[in-house]
Amino acid sequence: MAFSNQTPTIVVLKEGTDTSQGKGQILTNINACLAIQDTLAPTLGPFGSDILIVGSNGKTTISNDGATILKLLDIVHPAAQMLVDISRSQDAEVGDGTTSVTILAGELLKEAKAFIEDGLSSHLITKGYRKACELCVEKINDLSVDIKKEDPEEFRSLLENCATTAVSSKLISQNSKFFTKMVVDSVLSLDSDLDEKLIGIKKVPGGSLEESLFINGVAFKKTFSYAGFEQQPKSFKSPKILCLNVELELKAEKDNAEVRVGQVKDYQAIVDAEWQIIFDKLEHISNSGANIVLSKLPIGDLATQYFADRNIFCAGRVNSEDMERVIKAVGGHTQSTCSNIKSSDLGSCETFDEVQIGGERFNLFQGCPEAKTCTLILRGGAEQVIAEVERSLHDAIMIVKRAVSHHTIVAGGGAIEMELSKYLRDYSKTIAGKMQLIIGAFAKALEVIPRQLCENAGFDAIELLNKLRSAHAKGEKWYGIDFQLENIGNNMKSFIWEPSLVKTNAIESATEAATLLLSVDETIKNNEQEDAQPMSRGRGAY
């Protein structure tokens, strides 16, 4: 009797499941990330090019902002999705450096690829990268220069230099002087918690970029209005402002009501009562002394005409975000009832005007005593241009905000990366074994930033990088790429500055992404529609 020694095949996963594992899987993940890096690399720096992205709905976006590009790309590879996540986290935490962090993560993986192919354990690589990252963060903290806040003028000029560096790679770099002043003014107008959501940005197509306006207060587009609105005054000096969350329409009084009447005169009494209720509301508002009435809910034609007859300006359906900023700027409180309005509930400002900006009419509240908010009204020839200006200003605002709150800076233009690279190379020579090679590889990866800056600007990258290595070896720690000289120079003296937080966050995020991807050595992907989410196994999973 013959017995088979073969073990029967045990099916654990559904048929059609794709399983890839081992060294080949790690290399596949690295190659996917390098494809993303190649896409973003040409956009880095002052001479970086823009990318035109056409969405599935036909909407076009022109941008060189890393986070925006990655968000709009339809990336399906699960490993490459990691780079999208670190770029978003950099954008949320710091606001700038989204391209740098993605390129750096890709370069760390490229350096690791050679080690993986040679059979080195990914355990060792991740250990070496983490050690190198710690050393970099410590070195940045040692090197960073503290901004002195004592002298307001000097502090302001320092913030403007940081903003100038942030916009140097953007569409608005030619108008950087105009926009950096606007950015610093807007951040300094906020209170101590520096909530950038209180900087309102409104876009009005038409006109040149330098026709953009900074309003130290609140501006919002004229709301929907009824008959009688044009009879209202459109300009006030020192007005009293009442903010409501009340609907001032006649129909509002009979909502959800069921009334049974026996005689016609009873019906007339109900109609009269409805009119009386809204007239009582309007009378309370008029008696409060308010010159301007704003409401989140509609203000109907009856109320509009009533206010026009009494020289009161009104605006209904005000966006809740705009309303919140009005209250921050002028003081007072939002009222949910029209009775018992006290003078302390009213806000005030120096001037109120309704003005025409391009094809739109705007309500401007200026000279606000409580001004903890401001509004930027952006102009430009095309919608895509204005959208890119908004993204550029967002990055600059976040950079200035971080400089105010953390007030330590380092030189940009690849200077800090070259100094860290030199420091890691020197450190690697003091240790033995494979760790020396891995930390040396991290040092080499850091050079990708100045190299890419040179390539995008059309400079000779090999020559300038050799000059930079030589300068840093002689102790010139702030030497980086100087685009004005088309050579190397002292970027600290040239006012090419960045908050140190940008660099520490970028290096930490890039290292985290690289080590996580190196620790994943198996992907299990189910082709069934309901189980379409890929699973990963390794020392880390994504």
pLDDT, tens digit, for every residue of 236-274? 888 888 888 888 887 655 556 677 777 777 778 877 777
Topology of domain 218-370, per CATH?
Answer: GroEL (3.50.7)
**18-145+411-538 homologous superfamily:** GroEL-like equatorial domain (1.10.560.10)
Q: Which two tokens stand for residue 118?
A: 């040679």
- Indicate if 148-216+376-406 has the same CATH topology as 18-145+411-538: no
Q: Which of 492, 338, 314, 530 is nearest to 416 (CA)?
A: 492
148-216+376-406: CATH, from 3.30.260.10, 3.30.1360.120, 3.40.50.300, 3.40.50.150: 3.30.260.10
CB 216 within 8 A of CB 368: yes
Span 298-332, pLDDT tens digits: 888 888 888 888 888 988 898 888 888 888 888 88
Beta strands in 129-278 (DSSP E): 145-146, 199-205, 213-215, 217-221, 235-237, 240-244
- Quote the CA–CA distance of 441 and 126 in Å, as a whole number: 12
pLDDT higher than 60, residue 533? no
Residue 527: the pLDDT is 65
pLDDT tens digits, one per residue of 88-137? 888 887 777 888 899 999 999 999 888 888 888 888 999 999 999 999 99
The DSSP result for 36-85, as a single string, is HHHHHGGG-STTPPPEEEE-TTS-EEEE--HHHHHHHS----TTTHHHHH
* Domain chopping of the chain, boundaries: 18-145+411-538, 148-216+376-406, 218-370
Instruction: Please state the pTM of the whole predicted model.
Output: 0.76
How far is Cα 99 from Cα 91, in angstroms, rounded to an integer? 10
